[in-house]
């Protein structure tokens, strides 16, 4: 899992960005245990690999119990396109274990979403609810933060994409 702020220090040399000054180390690896979100959605009547539900839902929103000042006292939330959330091949999990042990509070106990290959900000911790919506989550961190823009893109011409380039970080024990 990689933080959207990975390499923020280097990004700030071109244009100042807010947030913790991560270098190339805001990335981690874990073995997750949980239930596939696609199976839960299917039990709720959402067809696998759907782009739209019969009620017009096109996005799956995950809401945390974590209250954020940026949300004006509301909870942290983020979403995925329905096609991503409902596809078993994407391996999106409702995770309750990390590396064979129950999640700790720091890692989202009792339940979190894990979205492989997507910035960590979409892997919502301390999950409270899941909703299928007609639109992308309107949460602050979905609309106004954790966006990765190339130099020719700004807030006025962004088209949000779930996938990000694959980055790798290699390290060895001290």
Do 7 and 70 fall into the same domain?
no
End-to-end CA distance of the chain: 22
Residues 19 and 36 reside in one and the same domain:
no
Peptide bond into 158 cis (omega under 30): no
Domain coverage including residue 25: 1-30
pLDDT tens digits along 47-79? 998 899 988 999 999 999 999 888 898 999 999
Q: Are residues 49 and 117 in the same domain?
A: yes
23/38 same-domain check: no
Work out how many domains the chain is built from and give that number. 2
61 plus 102 within the same structural domain: yes
Same domain, 112 and 139: yes
DSSP for 4-68? TTTTHHHHTTTS---S----TT-B----EEEEEHHHHHHHTTPPTT-SS-TT---EEEEEEEEE-
What is the pLDDT at residue 112? 97
pLDDT: is 165 or 91 the higher one?
91
* Same domain, residue pair 24 and 36: no
| Whether residues 87 and 120 fall in one domain | yes
Residues 95 and 70 in one domain: yes
Residue of 44 and 22 predicted with greater confidence:
44
Residues 22 and 77 reside in one and the same domain: no
Give per-residue pLDDT as tens, 23-40. Answer: 666 677 899 999 999 999
Q: Is residue 66 situated within a structural domain?
A: yes
DSSP string, 54-115: TT---EEEEEEEEE-GGGTTSEEEEEEEHHHHT-GGG--EEEEEETTEEPPGGGTTT-EEE-
19 and 96 fall within a common domain: no
Residue 63 sits at φ, ψ, to 5 deg, of: -115, 135
Reported as a single tens digit per residue, the pLDDT across 120-156 is: 889 999 999 999 999 999 998 888 776 656 666 666 6
């Amino acid at each position: 899992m990689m933080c959207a702020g990975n390499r923020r220090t280097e990004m700030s040399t071109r244009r100042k960005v807010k947030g913790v000054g991560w270098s190339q180390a805001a990335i981690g690896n874990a073995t997750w245990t949980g239930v596939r979100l696609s199976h839960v959605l299917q039990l709720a009547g959402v067809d696998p690999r759907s782009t739209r539900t019969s009620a017009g839902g096109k996005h799956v929103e995950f809401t945390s119990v974590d209250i954020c000042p940026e949300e004006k006292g509301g909870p942290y939330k983020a979403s995925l396109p329905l096609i991503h959330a409902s596809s078993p091949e994407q391996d999106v999990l409702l995770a309750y274990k990390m590396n064979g042990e129950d999640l700790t509070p720091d890692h989202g106990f009792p339940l979190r979403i894990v979205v492989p290959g997507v910035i960590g900000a979409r892997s919502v911790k301390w999950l409270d609810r899941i909703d299928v919506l007609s639109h992308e989550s309107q949460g602050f961190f979905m609309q106004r933060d954790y966006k990765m823009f190339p130099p020719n893109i700004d807030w006025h011409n962004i088209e949000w994409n779930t996938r990000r380039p694959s980055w790798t970080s290699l390290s060895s024990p001290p």
